[in-house]
Structure 1
Amino acid sequence: MNMTRVLFIITGLEGGGAEKALVNLLRAMDKQTYNISVLVIFGDKKGTDIVDGVTYHTLFGNNHSIVYKIAKHLYLDWHTPALLTYLTRRKVPDYYDVIVSFLEGDSLLYHSFVFDRAQRNISWVHTDLVENHWSARHFVGEDEKKAYSTLNGVVFVSEYAQTQFNKVFHLSENIKQYICPNIINETEIVQKSQELVTDVLKRTFTICSVGRLEEVKGYDMVVEAARILKRQGTDVDFWIIGTGSQEKRLRALIQGAGVDDIVHLLGYKANPYPYMRMADIFLSSSRAEGLPLVFGEAMCLGKPIVATRTIGALTILQDGEYGKIVDMSPSAIAGIITELQMNHSLLAHCGELSRIGKKQFDAQNVLDIVESVLGKNK
């Protein structure tokens, strides 16, 4: 049997849920069936989770690269993609059975420069593009729509992500659409969660959040919720794991609210699981979510989950069956934290429900869908 040659294109391999989802998928895919390569747009692979049997290529060292800045400037400001196209095609000289952009934005943009290098072109959509069309800023004019319209198929991590996408882009019926949740490696998560943490001490009831420090993640609401809790005399700590463009603003908000003693920005952690395990609650304060992988990771650790009312939260938590869903406000977040802190039996029950919810991330079911998407050579 001839192996199916697949190239995945991803912005980077550190940080977000989509990046982690790709690493989990690469690990699970059959290396006897698929000859897999990955084009990483930004990063030198240091500190990333490299999967055996996968070939990696890097386009730019990071997004501060002078060459990248010039090339992106020519595209965004002068509508001239020639340099970006040349650099991408130089890195992707070969032909593949399938090329996959595994994320919106730059992943799809660079994919569009090498559409002719594959028999089939597929793209993954992870987010709600009505509420959070963040990818639009990476394209000029109708280029994003043209790129999606040229694909052979689009994969969505949830039905809602598909519904929202189709409100923004009206694609031909010839472009096949698939629903495919992400894979979660429960064994690895539980194992990694046992590693020793030395940079922070658990001293009281603790709430942990993991995600990019961006406005869409709603960490400003967490800061205000912390202020409410402190003012009412509730002793809690918040651990926020991640980096992003809003870090400076968040630090100012934390200082201004007088909660720098209980809200801790811990930065990026290659292994966030020990922090999640040690915490009493996992909190998602997002304003929009597609199908957040971190919810499944929290479920593997049996963590009670509190989430603001986003479609991703409603989907994974099954309208509140596997976790607590609250209104998108600091007072609602503070209220449920107080309730769970005071009611130990309710807290334990939420942890049990969380563990039950992890069944939706079964690896074999996901791999069957991926095989139908990618196909395989005879």
Structure 2
Amino acid sequence: MKKNILFVMPSLSAGGGEKSLVNLLSQIDYDSYNVDLFLFHKAGLFINSIPKEVNILELPANYRKFKQEVHESIRLFLKAGQFNLACFRLMFTLINRVIKNSTKAEQTAWKYVSPSFDNLEKEYDVAVGYLEKSSIYFVVDKVNSKKKIGWIHTNYSNSGMDYHYDNPFFKQLDYIVTVSEECANSLRETFMHLKDNVRVIYNIVSPRIIKSLSNIEINYDIINRKNHINIITIARLSHEKGIDIAIDACKLLIEKGHKVNWCVLGEGNEREQLEGLIERSGLTNNFKLLGTKENPYPYIRNADIYIQPSRYEGKSIAIDEAKILHMPIIVTNFKTAKDQINNGENGLIVDLNPQAIVAGVEKLSQDISFKEKIINNLSKEKLGTEEEINKLYEIL
């Protein structure tokens, strides 16, 4: 008898959590499991990568109204006599305008968006909120399931999330899954009464697929400019990813006489701010925001150095992918950096400032024997994590 599993996710936009879900779904044994997927927004870069066996659920009518622009949403609710939902839609908008911290805003706003969702009729054996905040709240409040799992893709201590808001939801979960030992320690320290429920399942990556996709042709002139240090970063354009620090590092490299071509793959709410910083720094020809790419691997393979300048991370899928492609890597010293990089052996861990990043770039660019040692060590690592799916089966 097949088990029925539900995964809940806001969307399949370009992010580490979203890519992690697609990779996980590609590994599931569909002879043993029926899988439904509930998305708050049926869109995103990875929507076409979902396996055909996965059933994507339809959105409820009231939530479709709720998603409309605020004036249209309120008009539709008032026309239907749904005055409470009209008020909730207004409150949802006000909260997102007043609370500048997007994490706290999403938490606070849940009680207003929640009434627009119906409880799902189907009963599941397991329901998984695959991203922190709303996905988990939905599983707790709206799903009838024998077992409930929340998946945290970041270091909770640095996430800005409100413990007091999450605690009542987390207490109703059978398991809290996270992506690294450092992230697990953070959860156990924060939710000591739930520490026995915390499990680690690493993000699933497939070297075979990544290496194959990396050979697809692109316009190599974008990423591989002759006589330049060609750098690649994959990250959301948001504060925690440190792209502003990368821009400052690029400026310092140019001032020191280096020719630099630094490309960033990703989108986010800081694009306009970062574009302004690039222009003010005189780096329009050296630092490029290329947007999201469904296949980032040719860009990684054709660069010289991969840099992750983050202020904090959970466990970066992009770093694992760069390792699979044997790319010399520089990461900043966020808490979970040592989960993926052994400093001086398979990459460099540097302090979180532009000067330290510059020193790392110069080390990898000028010390050829050191760079070759890094590449050689990466070539010997076992980097596939497909077997992590077995840890999920154990708790299912």
> Under a length normalisation based on structure 1, what TM-score does the superposition of the two structures give?
0.88
Are the counterparts in 2 of residues 11 and 41 from structure 1 also a CA contact under 8 Å?
A: yes
Q: CA deviation at 1:285?
A: 0.2
- The alignment status of 1:171 with 2:193, answered yes or no, reads yes
Which residue of the partner structure matches residue 306 of structure 2? 282
Partner of 1:162: 184
Write the distance in 2 (CA, Å) between the matches of 1:219 and 1:80.
Answer: 28
Shift of residue 327, structure 1, vs aligned partner: 0.6
Report the CA distance between 1:246 and its aligned residue: 0.7
Q: Which residue does 2:261 correspond to in 1? A: 237
Partner of 1:347: 371
Does residue 101 (structure 1) correspond to residue 104 (structure 2)? The answer is: no
Q: CA deviation at 1:83?
A: 6.4
Q: Per-residue CA shift, 1:253-282, capped at 9, x if unaligned?
A: 111111111101101111111111110111
Structure 2 partner of 1:298: 322
8 A contact 1:222–1:285 mirrored in 2:
yes
2:153 counterpart (113, 117, 126):
126
Aligned partner of 1:189 among 205, 210, 222: 210
Matched residue count: 363
Q: Deviations over 1:36-67 (max 9, x none)?
A: 11111123367621212111125467996337
Is residue 385 of structure 2 the alignment partner of residue 362 of structure 1? yes
Aligned pair in 2 of structure 1 residues 21, 97: CA closer, same or farther (>3 Å)?
same
Aligned CA distance change for structure 1 residues 285 and 52 (closer, same or farther; 3 Å) = same
Asked if the contact 1:288/1:311 (under 8 Å) is kept, the reply is: yes
Farther off after superposition, 45-54 or 183-192: 45-54
Q: CA deviation at 1:235?
A: 1.0
Does the residue aligned with 1:216 lie in a helix, a strand or coil? helix
Per-residue CA deviation, residues 63-105 of structure 1 (Å, 9 max, x unaligned), is 9633789656546869786763344335x32110000011102
> Which amino acid in the other structure matches residue 278 of structure 2?
I
1:319-358 pair list within 5 angstroms? 319-357=343-381
Q: 157-166 vs 246-255, which deviates more? A: 157-166
Q: Which amino acid aligns with 2:198?
A: Q
Contact 1:41 1:58 in 2 (8 A): no
CA distance in structure 2 between the aligned counterparts of 1:202 and 1:289, rounded to whole angstroms = 27
Q: Distance in 2 between matches of 1:211 and 1:80?
A: 26
Secondary structure of 1:368's counterpart equals: helix
CA positional deviation for 1:299: 1.2
The alpha-carbon distance between structure 1 residues 313 and 44, as it changes in their structure 2 partners (threshold 3 A), is same
Partner of residue 152, structure 1:
174
AA partner of residue 51 (structure 2): V
Letter of the aligned partner of 1:104 in structure 2? Answer: E
2:68 corresponds to which of 65, 68, 71? 65
Whether the 8 Å CA contact 1:9–1:40 is kept in 2: the answer is: yes
Percentage of matched positions with identical amino acids: 26
From 264, 286, 290, the equivalent of 1:266 is 290
Q: Is the 8 A contact 1:4 1:35 kept in 2?
A: yes
Q: Where in structure 2 are the equivalents of 1:28-39 lying within 5 Å?
A: 28-39=27-38
CA contact (8 A) 2:12 2:43 kept: no
* Cα distance change on mapping 1:106 and 1:194 into 2, 3 Å: same
Q: Quick one: which amino acid aligns to residue 278 of structure 1?
A: N
Aligned 8 A contact 2:12 2:45 in 1: no
1:88·1:113 contact (CA, 8 Å) conserved in 2? no
**TM-score scaled by structure 2?**
0.84
Aligned counterpart, 2:4 = 5
* Distance (whole Å) between structure 1 residues aligned to residue 215 and residue 241 of structure 2: 27
CA RMSD after TM alignment: 2.6
**Residue 52 (structure 1) aligns with:** 52
Kept after mapping to 2: 8 A contact 1:44/1:58 = no
Q: Within 2, Cα distance between the matches of 1:275 and 1:247?
A: 20
- 1:345 is displaced (CA, Å) by 2.4
Return the alpha-carbon distance in structure 2 between the equivalents of residues 329 and 47 of structure 1: 33
Q: Does 1:252 align with 2:282?
A: no
Of 235, 240, 256, the residue aligned with 1:211 is: 235
What whole-Å deviation, never above 9, does each CA across 1:290-333 have from its counterpart, x for those lacking one? 11111111111111111001122211113553211101110000
Task: Tell me whether 76-85 or 290-299 shows the greater mean CA deviation.
Answer: 76-85
What residue identity is the alignment partner of 1:300?
I
* Structure 2 gaps, min length 5: 75-85, 96-107
Are residues 225 and 82 of structure 1, via their aligned partners in 2, closer, same or farther at CA, if it must alter by over 3 Å? closer
Measured against aligned partners, the alpha-carbon deviations of 1:141-190 in whole angstroms (never above 9, x if no partner) come to 944221111111111211110111233334346x6221111110211111
